[in-house]
Structure 1
Amino acid sequence: MKRTLVHATLLTAMLGLPALAQAETLRVGIIGDPASLSPPKITGGVWEEDVLRDLFAGLIDVSSDGQVIPGVAERWEVSEDGKTYTFHLRDSKWSDGEPVTASDFVFALRYAIDPSNAATGAERLYPLVNGQRIAEGEAEPDTLGARAVDDHTLELTLSEPAAYFLKMLVLPIFYPLPEHAVQQHGDDWSRPDRIVVNGAFKPTQWISGTELTTVKNPEYFDAENVALDGVRYFPMEDREAGITRFRANELDVLRDFPASRHTFLQQTLPDAVHITPNLGSYYYTFNLRDSQPTADQRVREALSLAIRRDVIADQLLEGAVSPSNALVPTSVSDYTPQPQPGLDQPIEQRLERARELLAEAGYGPDEPLELTLSFNAGTEQQRIAVAIAAMWQPLGVRVRMNSAEANVHYANLRQGDFQIGRAAWISSYDDPQNFLQLVYSAGNNYGDYQDPTFRDLFARSNVEQDAAKRRELLEQAERRLSSQFVHAPIYLYTARNLVNPNVEGWQDNALDIHPARWISIEAQ
């Protein structure tokens, strides 16, 4: 590795950037603590996937520029009918020296689909034979379409062909689990002092809310090409504090800096700012359960119509994001997002229609609509919530704010303990299916949307092999979703990261995925 002490020091001084620490340990500020280090037990947060991607290696991996590449599976074949995937595994080991086998993948998939384990993202396994039946308690986990032919050969069988299946294998729910460690320690197997991993780094210490420390895993199959000694992850729900720490040379990377600080950072740290369009949607989700005011579509439509997305994106967030009128982002390939009706009208017309809808629903000066707006803690989330509450005020809507740590907030959403909740989805693969499944599967269907027409269209799209017909089914499904105002889309994400220029191997990409195995540090 190149060592240019004088050059690196002069470079950082001229750019006004913090110099990096001497040790080749990457210090990363992430949005929050992982809920767990066990892949099936995370909440689905992007920050959790960032961590687990460094700790575990799945069948499929992601290159530094976001492309799908072989992982533990060095090659694979797909049957002519598109239902059977056969993966040939390379020789690899767990961090305790035990071999990683096809049985570890089968064990992980059965564990995840077993309803008694309440795995987040289990619905991603529904394409496998008996996947949904097992999750709903109608079949046993050992009937899942996953079979270890031998230690190095894994066979996955789908009920129907699924064009998107291979892309999904980058998700943590498909990571292997060390069966020997889980059987020895039960749910405690993933404690830092017991955890066994097969990725590029292994945890050594975890102080909740403060720091997760990892070191290079010498047993990783590609360890010889991993440059870093380790990675330290710092939960930074206060993104302003994250910027301060980056500027003070306490972080080498800050993930997802606040959009509202875009202009300031471009002016003060231009060579550290990385902004690129990505596959992400920021939205408010409505609770559709019968006991909630937002179960009434007229209420949902009125609230969505009154939101001035241009003000939020262009003024509050300084143009670092784009206004959104649909759930699926415009950056998704080969797809046309289907907007909510009426959002293209002038704001005066939208407000007039919103007042009519609320009056029809029984709300007005004598019967004001009172709602609780829930969001995860952070200056930016609060600013957006306050702005939207102010936009609803002319309608006579009274809003109570409910802020909580990210893990608590999303747990509340999954339990249906909210009325209106801030949510977001940043896709790990480029397909509209990954966004529309949010209201099809149980884990992320926070509002309990159960429309038969949408579900039929989405289910048919999952098995359609003709690309044009599949696209039309997905667009019809989103059109149905948008017409019922299940969400209030607000803006489309951009990937926003602060990266010290001495961090090498970082490549901006639409997935905003940056495995630390590809990163190195130009030492001083």
Structure 2
Amino acid sequence: MTRIVALLLSLCSMATGASPAMAQARALERGNGPEPSTLDAHVCQEVACGNVLRDLYEGLVTEDARGRLVPGMAERWSVSADGRTWTFHLREGLRWSNGEPLDAVQVVASFRRAFAPQTAAPFAEQFDAVLHAPEVRAGKLQPTRLGIDAPDARTVRVRTSRQVALPALLTLPIAFPVYLPAVERHGNQHTRPGRLVGNGAYRLAAWTPQAHLVVERNPHFHAAASVRIPRVRFHVTEDAAAELQRFIAGDLHLTETVPPQPLAKLRARHGARLRLSPYLGAFWLGLNTTQPPLKDAPQLREALSLAVDRDKLTRYITGFGETPAYGVVPPGIPGYAPASLHWSGWTQARREARAKALYRAAGYSDANPLTIELRYNTSTPHRRMALAVAAMWRDTLGVRVRLRNEEWKVFVQNRRQRAITQVFRGGWIGDVADARNFLVGFADDGALNWMGYDDPRYTAAMRRADLARSEAARNAWLRAAETRLLNAHVAIPLYFYTSKHLVDDGVRGFEPNPLDRHPSRWMSFAER
């Protein structure tokens, strides 16, 4: 197959006068991690689909290469004096990727579809500040009651029940306008090539499952003239080691991650092509509190957390500047002081002694060891992490661990259903620089509460944060909620992320940013 592709490129270059290298440079080859679970913008909940959707769609507000908020569909916006009514003025002449006009009425209709209960949008709870959004999501009110309307064809108005940093939220895929005629005509299949209609810098050209997706420049995009790269191929790269080899071989211009290796060795080999930067993300293991053996077993859950040596994990297993985590909200969020487990300052020896005492108090011993399953999605870094944690539990407590790896879509489904999971790979990548974004998923029995955490006092603290009249009071209540969540030991924090990519020398416009978002529209190839 490789020889055939090379031959075709050679023939193409003979016909056009271009070299094979120039022909290949026409497309940006991006590693993208696992197969996207969906390209329905309202249902997407992971990085893999978000990366593609940010090429195919644009919200009212978008981000530049450095993650700064800039106008998207809306050329400008304003907020009322009380901070509860936002008005967005659309650009003139907006069009869908099929050439049809795009106006405010369609944007509003898309929002209504996003919050309708039958859509089951996992990020809908992030918008609970929008007037009537919780009631619409719960099916108590019709979507037409949602606090989003269109006073005219070029104006979208959003009313909220409290003050909220709405523009940042509008960069999430759930806020992208979905072309409803395609949804009505094709249902779940509206995301397929030839059917998906977006409004972003690119449009979907091809999708080969478990291989790659191809997007091509959208001529109807309002800033199409500034989009320098005409085609982008998003490759499925679940195996980070294989992705690295493809980058070295020249098959990829950009990797989604870098496999665990000694950092000095990687720097020596790749130099400036290795891009490391701070990242608002937390990696933790979730514990299913709705099923035995972890249900009604806080002592056992804490013992498992205490037995993990986070310093060793970040020094020897990850090794890219990650920091040990003793909370679920990462540092770096303006105005917020993250909570941490009360024993975060202990030595590891003291933690392990306490872990053994709690393990015995929970009824387990060498004669009666705990047998438990640790589930993770297929990935070299995740496998290494799972092996290391399993070894720590075995050596410190005598726990017998069964490792289960699953393809991403299967893993996500099992994690959400909470039927067969016990311990599982979890974590959260920030959608916005806000502590609430890392905490709200545990406040109700929604699609993001994979552990089945149910605590009215936690929910009450989150509600008090939402109603706070000052940023200081809001952050205090959020910190109280995080502390309560940590004391329940329903998650085992492991580390806070850094973003890590390899970027080809010929790629321009790849800029570090705290949310690690890199839409292709801002990139270009260096002139040769």
State whether TM-score is above 0.5: yes
Cα offset, 1:220, TM superposition: 0.5
Counterpart in the other structure of 1:293: 294
Contact 1:279 1:493 in 2 (8 A): yes
Contact 1:260 1:320 in 2 (8 A): no
Whole-angstrom distance in 2 between the partners of 1:27 and 1:295: 48
Contact 1:24 1:230 in 2 (8 A): yes
Whole-angstrom distance in 1 between the partners of 2:294 and 2:151: 53
Whole-angstrom distance in 2 between the partners of 1:21 and 1:46: 29
Equivalent position to 1:124, from 118, 126, 133 = 126
Q: SS where residue 371 of structure 1 aligns?
A: strand
Whole-angstrom distance in 1 between the partners of 2:423 and 2:57: 35
Whole-angstrom distance in 1 between the partners of 2:159 and 2:87: 9
Structure 1 residue ranges without an equivalent (≥5): 1-18
Counterpart in the other structure of 1:15: none
Matched, 1:437 2:440: yes
Cα offset, 1:261, TM superposition: 5.4
Whole-angstrom distance in 2 between the partners of 1:490 and 1:75: 41
After superposition, the Cα gap between the structure-2 partners of 1:21 and 1:249, relative to the gap in structure 1 and judged at 3 Å, is: farther
- Cα deviation per residue 1:242-295 (whole Å; 9 max; x = unaligned)? 000001110000012124353332121112100001101111011111544254
After superposition, the Cα gap between the structure-2 partners of 1:222 and 1:75, relative to the gap in structure 1 and judged at 3 Å, is: same
For residues 47-66 of structure 1, the aligned pairs below 5 Å read 47-66=48-67
Whole-angstrom distance in 1 between the partners of 2:29 and 2:218: 17
Q: SS where residue 460 of structure 1 aligns?
A: helix
For residues 33-432 of structure 1, the aligned pairs below 5 Å read 33-42=35-44, 44-91=45-92, 92-162=94-164, 164-260=165-261, 262-393=263-394, 394-417=396-419, 418-432=421-435
Counterpart in the other structure of 1:461: 465
Counterpart in the other structure of 1:509: 513
Contact 1:32 1:47 in 2 (8 A): yes
Whole-angstrom distance in 2 between the partners of 1:427 and 1:217: 28
Whole-angstrom distance in 2 between the partners of 1:21 and 1:492: 40
Whole-angstrom distance in 1 between the partners of 2:381 and 2:346: 27
Whole-angstrom distance in 2 between the partners of 1:228 and 1:305: 49
Q: SS where residue 330 of structure 1 aligns?
A: coil
Q: Which moved more, 1:333-342 or 1:221-230?
A: 333-342
- Cα deviation per residue 1:383-441 (whole Å; 9 max; x = unaligned)? 11011011111212111111011222122111113111111211132111111123125
After superposition, the Cα gap between the structure-2 partners of 1:21 and 1:247, relative to the gap in structure 1 and judged at 3 Å, is: farther
Whole-angstrom distance in 2 between the partners of 1:99 and 1:408: 38
Q: Which moved more, 1:101-110 or 1:214-223?
A: 101-110
Cα offset, 1:340, TM superposition: 1.1
Letter in 1 for 2:105: S
Cα offset, 1:142, TM superposition: 1.7
Q: SS where residue 40 of structure 1 aligns?
A: coil
Counterpart in the other structure of 1:8: none
Whole-angstrom distance in 2 between the partners of 1:259 and 1:276: 16
Q: SS where residue 41 of structure 1 aligns?
A: coil
Structure 2 residue ranges without an equivalent (≥5): 1-20
After superposition, the Cα gap between the structure-2 partners of 1:186 and 1:317, relative to the gap in structure 1 and judged at 3 Å, is: closer
Whole-angstrom distance in 2 between the partners of 1:304 and 1:146: 44
Identity of matched residues, % = 34
How many residues are matched? 504
Whole-angstrom distance in 1 between the partners of 2:265 and 2:207: 33
TM-score (norm 1): 0.93
Whole-angstrom distance in 2 between the partners of 1:411 and 1:336: 33
Q: SS where residue 85 of structure 1 aligns?
A: strand
Cα offset, 1:22, TM superposition: 4.1
Cα offset, 1:329, TM superposition: 0.7
Contact 1:358 1:364 in 2 (8 A): yes
Whole-angstrom distance in 2 between the partners of 1:216 and 1:427: 28
Whole-angstrom distance in 2 between the partners of 1:308 and 1:391: 7
Contact 1:372 1:402 in 2 (8 A): yes
Whole-angstrom distance in 2 between the partners of 1:347 and 1:320: 20
Equivalent position to 1:25, from 24, 27, 30 = 27
Cα offset, 1:475, TM superposition: 1.2
Contact 2:291 2:422 in 1 (8 A): no
Cα offset, 1:90, TM superposition: 0.8
Whole-angstrom distance in 2 between the partners of 1:438 and 1:264: 39
Whole-angstrom distance in 2 between the partners of 1:236 and 1:261: 21
Letter in 2 for 1:46: V
Counterpart in the other structure of 1:446: 450
Whole-angstrom distance in 1 between the partners of 2:152 and 2:433: 32
Letter in 1 for 2:514: A
- Cα deviation per residue 1:355-398 (whole Å; 9 max; x = unaligned)? 21122222223322111101111111111101101111121211
After superposition, the Cα gap between the structure-2 partners of 1:260 and 1:445, relative to the gap in structure 1 and judged at 3 Å, is: farther
Q: Which moved more, 1:176-185 or 1:45-54?
A: 176-185
TM-score (norm 2): 0.92
Contact 1:503 1:522 in 2 (8 A): yes
Whole-angstrom distance in 1 between the partners of 2:199 and 2:423: 39
Contact 2:126 2:437 in 1 (8 A): no
Whole-angstrom distance in 2 between the partners of 1:25 and 1:226: 13
Counterpart in the other structure of 1:9: none
Letter in 2 for 1:132: P
Cα offset, 1:319, TM superposition: 4.5
Contact 1:340 1:485 in 2 (8 A): no
Whole-angstrom distance in 2 between the partners of 1:243 and 1:370: 35
Letter in 2 for 1:429: V
Contact 2:284 2:426 in 1 (8 A): yes
Whole-angstrom distance in 2 between the partners of 1:96 and 1:447: 42
Letter in 2 for 1:435: F
Which stretches of structure 1, 4 residues or more, deviate above 6 A after TM superposition?
none
